[in-house]
Amino acid sequence: MSTTQPRGGTGRDTDSLPNGPAAAAILAAGIGCGAVGILAFAGDASDSVGRLLNIYNPTGTLSGVTTLAIIIWLVAWFALNRLWRTRNLDTGGIYVAAFALLAVGFLLTFPPFMDLLQGK
């Protein structure tokens, strides 16, 4: 990527795009990451939830955790994008929520933290 061209060069104009689609994608990614953590924790904490999430036996509970998290992520992305695709939003709170959900994803997949929450 060695060549650049001056401002006003080729390519479509992206400066006028509303920030809604980006906000939708970023919050949906946070929701997807949070869903991985919440479902992993639920599968670990409850045997019955763990059995429900076992949709492909060779992979076990992980199969349901990740499949469901991907579905939640994509549905959230689709819904938020439909809602925000033409809007310019004040994104501060949206991005804070996205990062909070990302942190939930990291923490609730960390086994010592899961054990702490379960009082083990």
Nearer to another protein, 15 or 48 (CB): 15
Instruction: Kindly list the residues in this chain that would bind another protein in the complex (CB under 8 A).
Output: 1, 3-11, 14-15, 17, 19, 21-22, 25-26, 28-29, 32-33, 36-37, 40, 44, 56, 58-60, 62-63, 65-66, 69-70, 73, 91-92, 95, 98-99, 102, 105-106, 109-112
CB of 48: closest distance to another protein in angstroms?
A: 19
Query: Among 6, 27, 5, 20, which residue's Cα sits nearest to residue 76?
Result: 27
CB of 41: closest distance to another protein in angstroms?
A: 9
Calpha distance 65→105 (Å, rounded): 12
Query: Among 112, 114, 120, which residue's Cα sits nearest to residue 37?
Result: 114
Which amino acid, 61? T
